[in-house]
A and B are shown apart, each in its own frame.
Chain A
Amino acid sequence: MQRYLQVVIVGLMVWVDGWVQGVAAAEVDYLRDVRPILSNACFKCHGPGTQKGKLRLDEREAAVRRGAIVPGQPAESELLRRITASDEAERMPPPESGDRLSPQQVDTLRRWIAAGAPYAPHWAFSPPRRPAVPQTRFATVNPIDNFIRYRLEQEGLTPSPPADKATLLRRVYLDLTGLLPTPAEVDAFLRDESPDAYEKVVDRLLASPHYGERQARHWLDLARYADSNGYTIDGPRSIWPYRDWVIAAFNADMPFDQFTREQLAGDLLPQATQAQKIATGFHRNTPFNEEGGTDPEQFRVERTVDRTNTTGTVWLGLTIACAQCHDHKYDPITQVDYYRLYAFFNSCDEPTLVVGGDPRLERTIAHLQAMNADLQRVGDVEGMKIVQAQIKKVQGKLPTTLVMRERPTPRSTHVLIRGDFLRPGSRVTPGFPAILGPTPADRPLNRLDLAHWLTAPDNPLTARVTVNREWQKFFGRGLVETENDFGYQGSLPTHPELLDWLAVEFRDNGWSFKKLHKLIVLSATYRQASTQRTDLAVRDPRNLLLARQNRLRLEAEIIRDAALCASGMLNPQIGGPGVYPPQPREVFAFTQSNHPWPESKGPDRYRRGMYTFIWRQSQHHLLTTFDAPDAQTTCTRRNRSNTPLQALHLANDPVFVELAQHLGQRILREGPADDTGRLRYAFRLCLVREPTPAELQRLQTYLQRCQQEDPKTAWSAVARVLLNLDEFITRE
């Protein structure tokens, strides 16, 4: 019976999976059906990187020439003979590779060869074109819905109804600003029955300075931002002006092409402004090894490697890191391609920039300098010493930040054999991966050329990769699920036309994040309920087709922000040096250095989570417990784990206990006079929506129990429950 069930269920699941991918049994599609098999099982030895037996299967001509594939004649094809050979020594892939093909996979290859073995170029390596917007019988707000709902219609599925207004409001606040709406904002929205009520809220949120904070934190994940150097010593660094630059750029809706240029090559722009120099901090966020006995060149190379890999991941969505030691095993990226990209970053110096800022300090410095000049005139050497020491001291208070600066004479770049910095191979010049287009040969290129190339209209990847990551912010998963791999091993887009339409729209609409975000959050697809549905649970268990929204657990920083909002304690100040919300001293018990943690008193104690000082190797325990990135390398998607340590944190951590107390006081201060009214008010402060009768009753039971024990702390106790609800830390 058990065996039978397994067969049935597995069969069902395979069918469901195939169904969702839209596989029709009759026709075999190279990109969708064939290449994943070849890529997984064959390309490692017979692909772009390695050609055992001089055979490569990733190019049709080569495979046909060697007789591996005889188009139209599976029986004559060596490929088929070898994958079906009964002799273990003959059969491919070899047993030790562990990549044995299933009978279905063999059948797919057989049918593909029978159909003439057509190859197709990789979808992501041709520039996106704007596809026609399909028509659908379902309601739509904008073309996003046409693409999503057309597909649902094809599959015989229906979209979900819109989320209720309260849920939608909490969702869009959290997604755009990372904060909760105030009771007054909730009331105003619920009362507003005009057709554009929601759009007005969206416009207000896009204009809010907190929009920049929320979006910047996503970008800082990519930038591997931290306030310390990492490795073993992990000394502090000052680079928060870069973090603030990112916030300001999002708030100003800086076009993404300019955003790219300033971060990759701000120092190379004509008459670069201070802000443009600060922007180059993007690639100064690499860890820096201060350990004794290290070879500085080794770690300079490591930083350059990280810059190359990060650029490849963030803009191109390619796993080019694989080509550091050898030609890429799956994608057509050679080791030479890798070091040509590396060469763009190989000629940088890494200076520290003094950032002006506080006018009082600058006035003091000017005053002291005048004094110094006076003393020099009268020849008072002793006085000069004192004044100069004073100048140094005051200058030390001026903020600094880490930036990139191109060397006057470029370093010569070589392929590093097996990635070893002690084994230089052939010399290379800066250039672009050959598969993505030609490199101009008439002059030497620099980082500014790289930035221009990345955002050129015919770059096939940058716009797609970027809109995909933006989509992920609002649905929890990209249209391409492998948001960091658009190469051969990556997953295919669930909605290829929509991805291209968004990419073109983004590019042609001035690379505007605000316009893109507005388009997404206004769509009916975004506004759907996230409730699970019986029919979808069988037909599309992973919700790839988006017949509903997804529930998403909030990120570490946003959990803190939500608790600050609910308790009314949030200090909305934007930017500045990192702050030190309370944390147990024991966080440092396990690291080599005993870092200072001068716990913030006063308003800084209640700053948003993104301003918490980040010691790379011993991050604040809220961040580590709730999956904040480790800031070692670029992070394109955070995990959303669900663990007992998270429960302990929310339930017992002094910060959350304190905020629960503040929330308890707020309920009494602002809420109505009766217990039921207060419970409803508390519920709405945290979850925006009204409680159901069952929820209200359960809370009442708890409140009464607490009141009997200690009336003074009863409301803090209720507040603590609310801050611990799964719904509180989830965007519904």
Chain B
Amino acid sequence: MTLRHSWHQWEQAVCLWQTRRHFFRDCAIGIGQMALATLLARDGYAVEKTTGRRDPLAPKPPHFPPRAKAVIFLFMAGGPSHLDLFDPKPQLQRLHGQTVPPSFTQGKRFAFIKPDAKLLGSAQTFRKCGQVGMDICDLLPHLQTVADEICWLRGMKTDVFNHGPAKCFVNTGSPQFGRPSMGAWVTYGLGSECDSLPGFVVLQSGPRGPRGGAALWSCGFLPSIYQGVPFLKGANPILDLRSPPGVTDAQQRAFIETVNDLNRLHFQAVGDPEIATRIAAYETAFRMQTAAPEVMDLSRESKRVLDMYGVVPGQPSYAANCLLARRLVERGVRFVQLYHTNWDHHGGPTENLEVHLPQVCREIDRPTAALIRDLKQRGLLDTTLVIWGGEFGRTPMGEVRESTGRDHHIDAYTMWLAGGGVKRGFIYGTTDEIGYNVVENPVHVHDLQATILHLLGLDHTRLTFRFQGRDFRLTDVHGHVVHDILA
């Protein structure tokens, strides 16, 4: 163990000692016991000073004062086309049908198209929106009305161009599966304000789950308490949330009390703090059984709110997930990630720019704008960072299939942030005349990750976990905080 590492643990030891003494008072074993427990601090057994919570998700102090307390990541799975949504290029329209100049494509690799593919002008119309004058296509009329709330990143860059590895890269900082995801890192670093729901919740909408599956919200080598919990549709969003058939709430309460009383007796006999954690886990689980169905119940929301999002009660949708995200953040959940498919518009009968891009835009437009407005009206936008984007952008060249589409593109694309301490109504980054490369203010995926952690009060170089002999972090050995976009 390195000294730096141990120091962190001693700090937590002190913290534990100050708050846990009442808990361990009756235990004959005394202070050393607490020291022992604290050495498990890297597994998350910290105790929050003010609340005295003793579960592994108890809130932990950030490295420095944060701008944002919670994150809602609207993940547009498949790779939205920046050229058809946010980055119109007159030159691309003019060069429509021509071969892309080789200076752009030399040494580049693509998933499906050949470098000699023809350029494809966008069929969309755009307008300049808000005081910021952001170009937003007319497929997104509601988003056009909140342009001044948003910090637009037009110079995004990533490293990998297949869906699975690229999604993995945005979420874990590595294209290889098996690393902890951003939500896991954040809850590892900060815990969660909510003691009756998971700290990291994943919601999904669209025709299919995101490619890459559970690896995208995995805890990797972090303890599994930090793993994203995918919420299911319906009243019981967590697996095994419901008591067994025929068991009433009172019976379940009696069951949990019996289990915990027996666990307490055994704790007194053997003194292992893991048993105390287990007791806390059963209490939290029981609270979850009430809290999770409550959060899923949208019927208490006003008709005005439901209409604003476009939620049809009882019907799962991206809109319902946006509203759920707000409800989760309201209750103190740290990290909410929404996956919406499908943005993979290659062209073809089910994935083209003519029919399916407008369709997916309709699905997300109103709810996304509503989420920003709603958070703002409730005073939550200042402390909630909203992130919108996918794993990459799409090529200026068209793909030759039955209908129009574009291939995966990693050298330039658009994402955006709102709330949580970023500049409002701000455009950052410029691409070249056909939207192929970034010519000014690029933001690499690792930079975005560093910036997200920074907004949460975490230094991306200090949020580490020792595994296989080295300190791992979300940004690997890269990443710079993009100070230009901080409010």
Contacts and interface: CB of A to CB of B under 8 A. Distances in A.
Interface stretch (B269-277, B319-327, B425-433): B269-277
A619 B213 CA distance: 11
B285 A617 contact: no
Contacts of A721: 255, 258-259, 262
Given A489-B469, A642-B274, A699-B262, A536 B32 contact: yes
A551 B274 contact: yes
17 contacts: A6-B14, A10-B14, A14-B10, A232-B164, A232-B211, A291-B211, A330-B470, A485-B469, A490-B469, A532-B270, A586-B232, A590-B210, A643-B56, A645-B224, A698-B258, A725-B259, A726-B263
Report, nearest first, the 4 A-B pairs whose CB atoms are least far apart: A537-B32, A485-B469, A293-B111, A532-B271
Contacts of B210: 590, 592
A618 B208 CA distance: 14
Contacts of B227: 624
A621 interface: yes
A573 interface: no
Interface in B1-48: 1-4, 6, 10-11, 13-14, 17-18, 28-33, 35-36, 39, 43
Contacts of A653: 239-240
A713 interface: yes
Nearest to B237: A586
Nearest to A481: B1
B204 A649 contact: no
Contacts of B246: 713
A139 interface: no
A648 interface: yes
Contacts of B289: 648
A542 B240 contact: no
Contacts of B269: 531, 692
A533 B270 CA distance: 9
Contact of A584 (B198, B239, B256): B239
B281 A647 contact: yes
Interface in A332-377: none
Contacts of B93: none
Nearest to A633: B178
Contact of A537 (B31, B43, B229, B254): B31
Contacts of A505: none
Contacts of A618: 213-214
Contact of B468 (A484, A533, A626, A651): A484
Contacts of A51: none
Interface in A81-99: 98-99
Contacts of A289: 162, 164
B270 A291 contact: no
Contact of B14 (A9, A14, A294, A642): A9
Given A586-B232, A644-B288, A647-B284, A531 B270 contact: yes
Contacts of A98: 461-462
B247 to A, nearest CB: 8
Interface residues of B, number: 96
A722 B258 CA distance: 10
Contacts of B223: 627, 639, 641
A93 to B, nearest CB: 12
B56 A642 contact: yes
B266 interface: yes
Interface string A21-42: 0000000000000001100100
Interface in B66-124: 109, 111-112
Interface string A92-132: 00000011001011000000000000000000000000000
A537 B30 contact: yes
Nearest to A687: B266
Interface in B221-275: 221-225, 227, 229-230, 232-233, 238-244, 246, 251-252, 254-256, 258-259, 261-263, 265-266, 269-272, 274-275
A213 interface: no
A537 B33 CA distance: 5
B215 interface: yes
A649 B224 CA distance: 14
A435 interface: no
B10 A10 contact: yes
The interface centre, meaning the residue of B210, B242, B262 with most chain A CB atoms within 10 A of its CB, is B262
B76 to A, nearest CB: 16
A36 B233 CA distance: 51
Contacts of B11: 10
A625 B229 CA distance: 10
A643 B36 contact: no
B303 interface: no
A695 B262 contact: yes
Contacts of A295: 109
Nearest to B216: A590
B219 to A, nearest CB: 8
Contacts of A484: 468-469
A716 to B, nearest CB: 9
Given A537-B33, A538-B32, A647-B285, A586 B178 contact: no
A541 B239 contact: no
Interface in A224-255: 230-232, 234
Nearest to B32: A537
Contacts of A730: 274
Nearest to B236: A586
A548 to B, nearest CB: 10
B215 A319 contact: no
Contacts of B232: 586, 589
B281 A538 contact: no
Contacts of B222: 639
B254 A534 contact: no
A509 interface: no
B469 A487 contact: yes
A19 interface: no
Given A292-B111, A532-B272, A632-B176, 19 more contacts: A13-B13, A36-B2, A98-B461, A104-B3, A291-B162, A319-B470, A484-B469, A485-B469, A618-B214, A633-B176, A633-B177, A642-B56, A644-B285, A645-B229, A646-B281, A648-B240, A651-B282, A725-B266, A726-B266
A391 B252 CA distance: 57
